[in-house]
Protein backbone atom coordinates (compact mmCIF):
# COMPACT_ATOMS: atom_id res chain seq x y z
CA UNK A 1 0.00 0.00 0.00
CA UNK A 2 1.27 3.46 -0.85
CA UNK A 3 2.08 5.99 1.88
CA UNK A 4 2.72 9.73 1.87
CA UNK A 5 4.21 12.07 4.45
CA UNK A 6 3.14 15.67 3.78
CA UNK A 7 4.90 18.52 5.60
CA UNK A 8 3.47 21.96 6.31
CA UNK A 9 6.07 23.58 4.04
CA UNK A 10 4.59 21.69 1.09
CA UNK A 11 7.21 18.95 0.77
CA UNK A 12 5.99 15.43 0.04
CA UNK A 13 7.79 12.18 0.85
CA UNK A 14 6.47 8.99 -0.72
CA UNK A 15 6.93 5.41 0.42
CA UNK A 16 5.08 2.25 1.33
CA UNK A 17 2.95 1.41 4.34
CA UNK A 18 4.55 -0.92 6.90
CA UNK A 19 2.01 -0.48 9.68
CA UNK A 20 -1.71 0.01 10.07
CA UNK A 21 -3.73 1.58 7.28
CA UNK A 22 -5.08 5.06 7.87
CA UNK A 23 -4.00 8.63 8.54
CA UNK A 24 -2.20 10.30 11.41
CA UNK A 25 -0.71 13.71 12.14
CA UNK A 26 1.75 15.39 14.46
CA UNK A 27 5.05 17.22 14.74
CA UNK A 28 7.64 15.49 12.52
CA UNK A 29 10.99 14.94 14.27
CA UNK A 30 14.02 12.69 13.87
CA UNK A 31 15.91 10.35 16.20
CA UNK A 32 19.58 9.44 15.64
CA UNK A 33 19.66 6.24 17.73
CA UNK A 34 21.08 3.20 15.94
CA UNK A 35 19.08 0.80 18.11
CA UNK A 36 16.22 1.05 20.58
CA UNK A 37 13.39 1.65 18.12
CA UNK A 38 10.91 -0.19 20.34
CA UNK A 39 11.81 1.99 23.31
CA UNK A 40 11.38 5.03 21.06
CA UNK A 41 7.95 3.84 19.91
CA UNK A 42 6.73 3.41 23.49
CA UNK A 43 8.29 6.52 25.10
CA UNK A 44 5.42 8.83 26.25
CA UNK A 45 7.62 11.85 25.56
CA UNK A 46 6.92 11.25 21.85
CA UNK A 47 3.16 11.77 22.21
CA UNK A 48 1.91 13.95 19.36
CA UNK A 49 4.99 13.35 17.18
CA UNK A 50 5.76 11.46 13.97
CA UNK A 51 9.25 10.04 14.51
CA UNK A 52 11.79 9.50 11.72
CA UNK A 53 14.68 7.16 12.45
CA UNK A 54 17.95 8.24 10.79
CA UNK A 55 19.51 4.75 10.98
CA UNK A 56 18.84 3.10 7.59
CA UNK A 57 17.69 -0.34 8.78
CA UNK A 58 15.04 -0.59 11.50
CA UNK A 59 13.36 -3.72 12.82
CA UNK A 60 16.14 -6.25 12.24
CA UNK A 61 16.05 -7.59 15.80
CA UNK A 62 12.27 -7.56 16.06
CA UNK A 63 10.14 -6.63 19.03
CA UNK A 64 9.94 -8.10 22.52
CA UNK A 65 7.42 -7.41 25.27
CA UNK A 66 10.31 -7.00 27.74
CA UNK A 67 11.63 -3.83 26.10
CA UNK A 68 8.61 -1.52 26.10
CA UNK A 69 8.74 1.78 28.01
CA UNK A 70 4.99 2.21 28.56
CA UNK A 71 1.70 0.34 28.15
CA UNK A 72 1.51 0.92 24.39
CA UNK A 73 3.17 2.77 21.50
CA UNK A 74 3.04 6.53 22.08
CA UNK A 75 4.30 8.04 18.83
CA UNK A 76 1.75 9.49 16.41
CA UNK A 77 3.48 7.87 13.44
CA UNK A 78 6.73 6.19 12.38
CA UNK A 79 9.00 6.74 9.35
CA UNK A 80 12.01 4.59 8.35
CA UNK A 81 14.27 4.00 5.35
CA UNK A 82 14.01 0.22 5.43
CA UNK A 83 11.76 -1.88 7.69
CA UNK A 84 13.20 -5.36 8.12
CA UNK A 85 10.66 -8.09 7.40
CA UNK A 86 12.71 -10.50 9.53
CA UNK A 87 13.39 -10.57 13.27
CA UNK A 88 16.81 -12.07 13.94
CA UNK A 89 16.79 -12.25 17.75
CA UNK A 90 16.05 -15.11 20.14
CA UNK A 91 14.19 -12.69 22.44
CA UNK A 92 11.82 -11.42 19.73
CA UNK A 93 8.07 -11.96 20.14
CA UNK A 94 7.22 -10.58 16.68
CA UNK A 95 8.52 -8.58 13.76
CA UNK A 96 8.37 -4.80 13.77
CA UNK A 97 5.68 -4.80 11.09
CA UNK A 98 3.50 -7.21 13.05
CA UNK A 99 3.89 -5.00 16.13
CA UNK A 100 2.95 -1.83 14.24
CA UNK A 101 -0.15 -3.43 12.74
CA UNK A 102 -1.22 -5.03 16.02
CA UNK A 103 -1.00 -1.65 17.77
CA UNK A 104 -2.78 0.27 14.98
CA UNK A 105 0.24 2.49 14.36
CA UNK A 106 0.54 4.17 10.96
CA UNK A 107 4.07 3.82 9.61
CA UNK A 108 5.92 4.06 6.32
CA UNK A 109 9.20 2.83 4.79
CA UNK A 110 11.18 3.26 1.56
CA UNK A 111 11.57 6.94 2.47
CA UNK A 112 14.68 8.99 1.78
CA UNK A 113 15.17 9.63 5.49
CA UNK A 114 18.47 11.39 4.86
CA UNK A 115 16.68 14.03 2.77
CA UNK A 116 13.86 14.27 5.32
CA UNK A 117 16.32 14.73 8.19
CA UNK A 118 18.24 17.41 6.30
CA UNK A 119 14.96 19.23 5.72
CA UNK A 120 14.05 19.09 9.41
CA UNK A 121 17.52 20.31 10.39
CA UNK A 122 17.31 23.20 7.95
CA UNK A 123 13.70 24.28 8.37
CA UNK A 124 13.07 22.88 11.84
CA UNK A 125 10.57 20.37 13.21
CA UNK A 126 7.34 20.74 11.26
CA UNK A 127 3.74 19.66 11.41
CA UNK A 128 2.96 16.77 9.11
CA UNK A 129 0.34 14.23 8.03
CA UNK A 130 1.16 10.59 7.33
CA UNK A 131 -1.44 8.73 5.27
CA UNK A 132 -1.74 5.38 3.49
CA UNK A 133 -3.94 4.35 0.57
CA UNK A 134 -4.28 4.26 -3.20
CA UNK A 135 -5.83 7.60 -4.07
CA UNK A 136 -4.03 10.06 -1.82
CA UNK A 137 -4.20 13.79 -2.54
CA UNK A 138 -0.87 15.36 -1.51
CA UNK A 139 -2.13 18.96 -1.60
CA UNK A 140 -5.02 18.08 0.71
CA UNK A 141 -2.61 16.43 3.14
CA UNK A 142 -0.41 19.55 3.17
CA UNK A 143 -3.47 21.64 4.00
CA UNK A 144 -4.30 19.27 6.84
CA UNK A 145 -0.73 19.52 8.15
CA UNK A 146 -0.99 23.31 8.25
CA UNK A 147 -4.23 23.09 10.20
CA UNK A 148 -3.09 20.90 13.12
CA UNK A 149 -2.00 22.57 16.39
CA UNK A 150 1.65 23.46 16.87
CA UNK A 151 3.59 21.81 19.68
CA UNK A 152 4.06 25.19 21.33
CA UNK A 153 1.14 25.84 23.66
CA UNK A 154 0.11 22.20 24.07
CA UNK A 155 -0.33 20.38 27.39
CA UNK A 156 0.08 16.72 26.40
CA UNK A 157 0.91 15.52 29.91
CA UNK A 158 -2.73 15.05 30.85
CA UNK A 159 -3.03 12.49 28.03
CA UNK A 160 -0.19 10.27 29.23
CA UNK A 161 -0.09 10.57 33.03
CA UNK A 162 -1.43 7.79 35.26
CA UNK A 163 -5.08 7.99 36.38
CA UNK A 164 -4.42 7.33 40.08
CA UNK A 165 -1.45 6.88 42.44
CA UNK A 166 0.18 3.45 42.54
CA UNK A 167 3.17 1.72 44.09
CA UNK A 168 5.68 0.27 41.66
CA UNK A 169 6.02 -3.47 42.27
CA UNK A 170 9.10 -4.97 40.58
CA UNK A 171 7.79 -8.50 41.04
CA UNK A 172 4.74 -7.66 38.96
CA UNK A 173 6.68 -5.87 36.23
CA UNK A 174 6.21 -8.07 33.17
CA UNK A 175 8.75 -6.02 31.24
CA UNK A 176 11.64 -7.20 33.42
CA UNK A 177 13.61 -10.09 31.98
CA UNK A 178 14.69 -13.06 34.12
CA UNK A 179 18.11 -12.95 32.48
CA UNK A 180 20.31 -10.97 34.86
CA UNK A 181 22.83 -10.01 32.18
CA UNK A 182 20.32 -7.57 30.70
CA UNK A 183 20.13 -5.51 33.91
CA UNK A 184 22.80 -2.85 34.38
CA UNK A 185 23.95 -3.23 37.98
CA UNK A 186 24.54 0.02 39.89
CA UNK A 187 27.86 0.81 41.56
CA UNK A 188 26.05 0.93 44.90
CA UNK A 189 22.57 0.58 46.37
CA UNK A 190 20.90 2.51 49.17
CA UNK A 191 21.90 1.35 52.65
CA UNK A 192 18.21 1.02 53.50
CA UNK A 193 15.21 1.05 51.17
CA UNK A 194 14.31 4.66 50.45
CA UNK A 195 10.86 6.06 49.66
CA UNK A 196 10.49 8.15 46.51
CA UNK A 197 7.36 10.06 45.51
CA UNK A 198 7.31 10.49 41.73
CA UNK A 199 5.27 12.76 39.49
CA UNK A 200 4.27 10.97 36.30
CA UNK A 201 4.38 13.40 33.38
CA UNK A 202 4.79 10.48 30.97
CA UNK A 203 7.31 8.34 32.84
CA UNK A 204 9.32 5.64 31.13
CA UNK A 205 9.32 2.22 32.76
CA UNK A 206 13.10 2.12 32.97
CA UNK A 207 13.09 5.00 35.43
CA UNK A 208 11.15 2.81 37.83
CA UNK A 209 13.49 -0.11 37.16
CA UNK A 210 16.55 2.04 37.90
CA UNK A 211 15.09 3.31 41.15
CA UNK A 212 14.38 -0.27 42.20
CA UNK A 213 17.88 -1.59 41.48
CA UNK A 214 19.33 1.40 43.37
CA UNK A 215 17.28 0.45 46.43
CA UNK A 216 14.24 2.74 46.24
CA UNK A 217 10.53 2.07 46.62
CA UNK A 218 8.53 4.37 44.35
CA UNK A 219 4.96 5.61 44.62
CA UNK A 220 3.83 7.21 41.36
CA UNK A 221 1.39 10.13 41.36
CA UNK A 222 -0.66 11.72 38.56
CA UNK A 223 0.73 14.97 37.19
CA UNK A 224 -2.10 16.95 38.77
CA UNK A 225 -1.77 15.51 42.29
CA UNK A 226 -1.37 18.29 44.91
CA UNK A 227 1.99 18.44 46.72
CA UNK A 228 0.33 17.52 50.00
CA UNK A 229 -0.43 14.04 48.70
CA UNK A 230 3.23 13.42 47.95
CA UNK A 231 4.45 14.87 51.26
CA UNK A 232 1.86 12.83 53.18
CA UNK A 233 3.84 9.65 52.49
CA UNK A 234 6.89 11.31 54.14
CA UNK A 235 9.14 10.56 51.18
CA UNK A 236 12.91 10.54 51.37
CA UNK A 237 12.94 12.20 47.96
CA UNK A 238 10.70 13.54 45.20
CA UNK A 239 11.12 12.84 41.49
CA UNK A 240 9.84 14.76 38.44
CA UNK A 241 9.65 12.60 35.31
CA UNK A 242 9.99 13.05 31.59
CA UNK A 243 6.98 13.78 29.39
CA UNK A 244 5.67 15.42 26.20
CA UNK A 245 4.51 18.87 25.12
CA UNK A 246 5.29 22.46 26.03
CA UNK A 247 6.53 22.83 29.64
CA UNK A 248 5.37 26.45 29.85
CA UNK A 249 1.76 25.27 29.57
CA UNK A 250 1.96 23.18 32.76
CA UNK A 251 0.86 25.84 35.24
CA UNK A 252 -0.29 23.23 37.75
CA UNK A 253 2.99 21.31 37.61
CA UNK A 254 5.07 24.48 37.92
CA UNK A 255 3.06 25.63 40.95
CA UNK A 256 3.45 22.20 42.58
CA UNK A 257 7.19 22.21 41.92
CA UNK A 258 7.56 25.69 43.39
CA UNK A 259 5.85 24.54 46.59
CA UNK A 260 7.84 21.32 46.86
CA UNK A 261 11.21 23.04 46.45
CA UNK A 262 10.44 24.82 49.74
CA UNK A 263 9.82 21.54 51.59
CA UNK A 264 13.53 20.76 52.15
CA UNK A 265 13.14 17.31 50.58
CA UNK A 266 15.70 16.16 47.97
CA UNK A 267 14.29 16.64 44.47
CA UNK A 268 15.52 15.10 41.22
CA UNK A 269 14.06 15.87 37.79
CA UNK A 270 14.78 14.70 34.26
CA UNK A 271 13.73 15.97 30.81
CA UNK A 272 10.30 17.63 31.16
CA UNK A 273 10.77 17.41 34.94
CA UNK A 274 13.97 19.41 34.51
CA UNK A 275 12.09 22.09 32.56
CA UNK A 276 9.23 22.22 35.10
CA UNK A 277 11.70 22.69 37.95
CA UNK A 278 13.56 25.39 36.00
CA UNK A 279 10.30 27.27 35.42
CA UNK A 280 9.39 26.89 39.10
CA UNK A 281 12.76 28.36 40.10
CA UNK A 282 12.28 31.42 37.91
CA UNK A 283 13.81 30.53 34.53
CA UNK A 284 12.03 30.38 31.17
CA UNK A 285 11.99 27.79 28.39
CA UNK A 286 12.07 28.06 24.60
CA UNK A 287 11.43 25.80 21.62
CA UNK A 288 14.48 24.28 19.95
CA UNK A 289 14.67 24.36 16.16
CA UNK A 290 14.63 20.59 15.73
CA UNK A 291 15.28 19.24 19.22
CA UNK A 292 17.65 16.65 20.65
CA UNK A 293 16.59 13.05 20.08
CA UNK A 294 18.97 10.13 20.11
CA UNK A 295 21.21 7.94 22.25
CA UNK A 296 24.53 9.52 21.27
CA UNK A 297 24.52 13.16 22.45
CA UNK A 298 27.67 14.49 24.17
CA UNK A 299 27.17 16.44 27.40
CA UNK A 300 29.91 18.04 29.53
CA UNK A 301 29.69 17.80 33.32
CA UNK A 302 31.15 21.18 34.28
CA UNK A 303 32.30 20.16 37.77
CA UNK A 304 34.47 17.29 36.49
CA UNK A 305 34.99 18.37 32.85
CA UNK A 306 34.04 14.82 31.88
CA UNK A 307 31.97 14.17 28.78
CA UNK A 308 28.99 11.87 29.01
CA UNK A 309 27.35 10.25 26.00
CA UNK A 310 23.66 10.58 26.74
CA UNK A 311 20.18 9.54 25.68
CA UNK A 312 17.96 12.51 24.84
CA UNK A 313 14.42 13.25 23.73
CA UNK A 314 13.20 16.83 23.99
CA UNK A 315 12.12 19.74 21.83
CA UNK A 316 12.33 22.53 24.44
CA UNK A 317 15.22 23.85 26.53
CA UNK A 318 15.90 26.25 29.40
CA UNK A 319 16.89 29.79 28.42
CA UNK A 320 20.34 30.42 30.00
CA UNK A 321 19.73 34.18 30.15
CA UNK A 322 16.86 33.63 32.59
CA UNK A 323 18.49 31.25 35.09
CA UNK A 324 18.41 32.98 38.51
CA UNK A 325 21.58 33.54 40.54
CA UNK A 326 20.62 30.95 43.15
CA UNK A 327 20.68 28.22 40.48
CA UNK A 328 23.89 26.98 38.86
CA UNK A 329 24.30 25.30 35.49
CA UNK A 330 25.92 21.89 35.97
CA UNK A 331 25.89 20.35 32.47
CA UNK A 332 25.96 21.72 28.91
CA UNK A 333 25.29 20.17 25.51
CA UNK A 334 28.43 20.01 23.38
CA UNK A 335 26.45 20.21 20.13
CA UNK A 336 24.87 23.59 20.69
CA UNK A 337 25.81 24.76 24.21
CA UNK A 338 22.28 24.49 25.60
CA UNK A 339 21.69 23.80 29.29
CA UNK A 340 21.64 20.11 30.21
CA UNK A 341 21.67 20.30 34.01
CA UNK A 342 20.83 22.62 36.91
CA UNK A 343 21.34 22.58 40.66
CA UNK A 344 19.96 24.92 43.32
CA UNK A 345 22.73 26.41 45.41
CA UNK A 346 20.97 26.18 48.80
CA UNK A 347 18.19 23.59 48.53
CA UNK A 348 18.61 19.86 47.67
CA UNK A 349 17.19 20.25 44.16
CA UNK A 350 18.88 19.21 40.93
CA UNK A 351 17.79 18.15 37.46
CA UNK A 352 19.08 17.18 34.02
CA UNK A 353 17.66 17.60 30.54
CA UNK A 354 18.74 14.16 29.33
CA UNK A 355 17.84 10.58 30.32
CA UNK A 356 20.20 8.97 32.87
CA UNK A 357 18.02 5.83 32.89
CA UNK A 358 18.83 5.42 29.15
CA UNK A 359 16.77 2.65 27.47
CA UNK A 360 17.89 3.05 24.81
CA UNK A 361 21.31 4.49 25.33
CA UNK A 362 24.56 4.33 27.31
CA UNK A 363 24.86 4.21 31.09
CA UNK A 364 27.31 7.12 31.45
CA UNK A 365 24.82 9.18 33.48
CA UNK A 366 23.57 6.48 35.84
CA UNK A 367 25.66 8.11 38.58
CA UNK A 368 22.91 10.74 38.92
CA UNK A 369 20.73 8.16 40.66
CA UNK A 370 23.58 7.67 43.15
CA UNK A 371 23.73 11.42 43.73
CA UNK A 372 20.02 11.35 44.50
CA UNK A 373 20.61 8.46 46.93
CA UNK A 374 23.34 10.47 48.64
CA UNK A 375 21.05 13.48 49.05
CA UNK A 376 18.25 11.34 50.49
CA UNK A 377 20.50 9.41 52.88
CA UNK A 378 22.10 12.60 54.21
CA UNK A 379 18.67 13.82 55.34
CA UNK A 380 17.35 10.55 56.72
Residues 53 and 165 in one domain: no
Considering 147, 175, 201, which residue would you say is the last residue of a domain?
A: 147
Residues 140 and 258 in one domain: no
Residues 142 and 165 in one domain: no
Considering 90, 118, 147, which residue would you say is the last residue of a domain?
A: 147
Residues 131 and 188 in one domain: no
Q: Identify whether 355 is a catalytic site residue.
A: yes
What is the C-alpha to C-alpha distance for residues 270 and 193, in angstroms, rounded to an integer?
22
Residue 180's pLDDT band, with cuts at 50, 70 and 90, is low
pLDDT value of position 184: 76
Residues 267 and 358 in one domain: yes
Residue of 135, 87, 105, 155 lying closest to 316 (CA atoms) = 155
Q: Identify whether 216 is a catalytic site residue.
A: no
Residues 54 and 174 in one domain: no
Residues 166 and 308 in one domain: yes
pLDDT value of position 176: 58
Total length of the chain: 380
Give the residue with greater pLDDT, 134 vs 180. 134
Phi-psi sector, 359: left (phi>0), alpha (psi -120 to 50), beta: left
From the list 27, 69, 308, 357, the catalytic residue is 357
DSSP sequence for 8-57: TTS-EEEEEE-S-SSEEEEEEEEE--SS-HHHHHT-GGGBTEEEEE-SSE
Residues 142 and 262 in one domain: no
From the list 256, 271, 292, 340, the catalytic residue is 271
- Burial profile 222-237: b = 16 or more Cβ within 10 angstroms, e = fewer: bbebebeebeeeebbb
Mean pLDDT of the chain: 95
DSSP sequence for 320-346: GGG--TTEEEEEEETTT--EEEEEESS
pLDDT digits (tens, 9 = 90+) for 109-134: 999 999 999 999 999 999 999 999 99
CATH number, domain with residue 56: 3.50.30.20
pLDDT digits (tens, 9 = 90+) for 3-34: 999 999 999 999 999 999 999 999 999 999 99
Phi and psi angles of residue 329, each rounded to the nearest 5 degrees, phi first: -85, 125
Residue-number span of the structural domain to which 21 is assigned: 2-147
CB-count burial class (<10 Å; 0-12, 13-18, 19+) for 329: middle
Within the chain, strands assigned E span 2-7, 12-17, 23-31, 49-53, 57-58, 77-79, 82-83, 107-109, 126-132, 166-167, 194-200, 216-222, 237-240, 267-270, 285-301, 306-318, 327-333, 339-344, 349-352
In a domain, 343, yes or no: yes
What is the C-alpha to C-alpha distance for residues 294 and 48, in angstroms, rounded to an integer?
18
- Find out whether 51 and 79 touch, Cβ atoms under 8 Å: yes
Helix/strand/coil for 270: strand
Q: Which residues contact 140 (CB under 8 A, 6 or more apart)?
A: none
In a domain, 298, yes or no: yes
Query: What is the value of pTM for the model shown?
Result: 0.95
**By percentage, how much of the chain surpasses pLDDT 70?**
97
Q: What is the mean pLDDT of the segment spanning 174-185?
A: 59
- Find out whether 339 and 196 touch, Cβ atoms under 8 Å: no
In a domain, 152, yes or no: no
pLDDT value of position 178: 46
pLDDT digits (tens, 9 = 90+) for 216-275: 999 999 999 999 999 999 999 999 999 999 999 999 999 999 999 999 999 999 999 999
CB-count burial class (<10 Å; 0-12, 13-18, 19+) for 213: middle
Considering 97, 113, 147, which residue would you say is the last residue of a domain?
A: 147
Residues 119 and 163 in one domain: no
From the list 256, 274, 292, 355, the catalytic residue is 355
Residue 296's pLDDT band, with cuts at 50, 70 and 90, is very high
Q: How many domains does the chain have?
A: 2
Q: Identify whether 357 is a catalytic site residue.
A: yes
In a domain, 294, yes or no: yes
CATH number, domain with residue 198: 3.40.50.880
Amino acid sequence: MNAILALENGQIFEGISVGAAGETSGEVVFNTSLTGYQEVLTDPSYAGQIVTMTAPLIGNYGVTSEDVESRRPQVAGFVVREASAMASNWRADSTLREYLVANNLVAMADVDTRALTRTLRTVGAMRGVLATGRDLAPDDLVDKARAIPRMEGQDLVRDVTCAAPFDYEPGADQTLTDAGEFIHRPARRARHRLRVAAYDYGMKYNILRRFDVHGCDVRVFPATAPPGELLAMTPDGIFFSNGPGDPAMLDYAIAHARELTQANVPIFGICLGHQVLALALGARTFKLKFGHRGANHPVKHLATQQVEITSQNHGFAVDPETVPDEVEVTHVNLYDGTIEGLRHRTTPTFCVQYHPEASPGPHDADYLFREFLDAMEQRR
